């Protein structure tokens, strides 16, 4: 397919893909994209997630179990789709999360056994809670907790407060800085300057690893980081990192090039990118099939290439 035909193919997809293609690739008039955005709740993938009725606290399948059919990950999926941020049922669910799921350390903690909250979970909560307009005072203790978990090497590791991790994790780091970015984009101010400095240091941590390599040996940390999937869940991969840098409007850095080259090599002859892996776990439904051309991966790759002027 030519580049135009690939875009046409994206526009034949779900309302979510249509909306984000117009918004990010075509830069269509916001009045048109807003109309598309409003459709997400009522048709296709968005309707299937939203009408799953699992976004309830202590009803059905609960807040965090089982993976991936639970309130937490469905809220993250809906946020990443770009569904309307002003939906009463979601706002009510957020209020319940902050009432019932906070641990003694101030973080959101769905475990009845582990006393320490998980910074990766809290980064994701900050992400969707900021997008859906949670009241700022609900977020204070989560932000306090996140800042306490920041590590000396610049990033985050969910094992720091449980097992004494000594090196940050790309998985945890990307989840937290996505949350910080969304918090800033939505006008919150509590400890914002501290969060943004932490975000800057975390970006540097990722770049020091050239997105997927050991900073000591240069070897690939985990080959799964080179395989692209959607939904993202908690896992880090190269396309997720580059899409974050694009969204954060971070200028090109030569240390991104290895990741961009990986993205180039994964493109199929027809100009699309395939769905390469499915993370084990339960799902409400499958948006795309492994081994087939993926509109999610193609959309994300194209907007990364557009932002960084990759030919």
pLDDT at 3 over 90: no
Domain count of the fold of the chain: 3
Where does a domain end: 179, 208, 237? 208
In this structure, the answer to whether residues 249 and 170 fall within a common structural domain is no
H-assigned helices in 165-237: 170-185, 192-208
**For the purposes of burial, counting CB atoms within 10 Å of the CB of 186, is it exposed (0-12), middle (13-18) or buried (19 or more)?**
middle
Q: Which domain holds residue 8?
A: 1-42
Query: Positive or negative, the Cα torsion across 225, 79, 28, 40?
Result: positive
With tokens 């991936």, the residue in question is 68
**Cα(64)–Cα(71) distance, integer angstroms:** 6
| Residue 147 sits in the same domain as residue 277 | no
Alpha carbons within 13 A on the beta-carbon side of 100: 13
In the beta sheet, which residues pair with residue 293? Answer: 274
* Residue that is last in its domain, among 162, 189, 208: 208
Q: Per-residue pLDDT tens for 234-256?
A: 999 999 999 999 999 999 999 99
- The answer on 129 and 15 residing in a single domain is no
- DSSP state, 220? B
Q: Is the pLDDT of residue 270 over 90?
A: yes
How far is Cα 182 from Cα 149, in angstroms, rounded to an integer? 19
pLDDT digits (tens, 9 = 90+) for 18-38: 999 999 999 999 988 999 999
Helices 295-307, 257-265: inter-axial angle, 10-degree rounding:
140
């Amino acid at each position: 397919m030519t580049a135009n035909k690939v875009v046409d193919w994206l526009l034949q997809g779900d309302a979510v893909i249509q909306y984000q293609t117009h918004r990010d690739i075509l830069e269509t008039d916001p009045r048109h994209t807003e109309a598309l955005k409003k459709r997400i709740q009522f048709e296709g993938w968005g309707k299937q997630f939203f009408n799953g009725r699992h976004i309830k606290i202590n009803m059905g399948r609960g807040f965090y179990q089982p993976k991936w059919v639970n309130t937490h990950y469905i809220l993250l999926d809906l946020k990443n789709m770009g569904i309307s941020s002003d939906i009463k049922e979601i706002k009510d669910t957020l209020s319940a999360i902050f009432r019932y799921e906070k641990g003694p350390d101030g973080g959101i903690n769905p475990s009845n056994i582990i006393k320490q909250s998980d910074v990766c979970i809290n980064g994701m909560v900050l992400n969707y809670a900021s997008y859906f307009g949670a009241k700022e005072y609900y977020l204070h203790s989560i932000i306090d907790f996140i800042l306490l978990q920041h590590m000396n090497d610049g990033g985050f590791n969910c094992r720091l407060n449980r097992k004494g991790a000594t090196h940050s994790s790309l998985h945890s780091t990307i989840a937290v800085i996505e949350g910080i970015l969304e918090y800033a984009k939505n006008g919150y101010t509590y400890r914002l300057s501290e969060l943004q400095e932490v975000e800057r240091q975390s970006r540097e941590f990722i770049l020091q690893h050239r997105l997927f390599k050991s900073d000591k040996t240069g070897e690939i940390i985990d080959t799964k980081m080179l395989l692209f999937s959607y939904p993202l869940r908690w896992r880090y991969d190269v396309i997720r990192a580059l899409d974050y840098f694009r969204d954060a409007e971070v200028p090109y850095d030569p240390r991104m090039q290895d990741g961009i080259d990986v993205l180039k090599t994964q493109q199929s002859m027809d100009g699309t990118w395939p769905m390469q892996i499915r993370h084990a776990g339960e799902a409400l439904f499958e948006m795309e099939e492994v081994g087939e051309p993926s509109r999610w991966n193609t959309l994300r790759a194209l907007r990364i290439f557009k932002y960084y002027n990759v030919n």
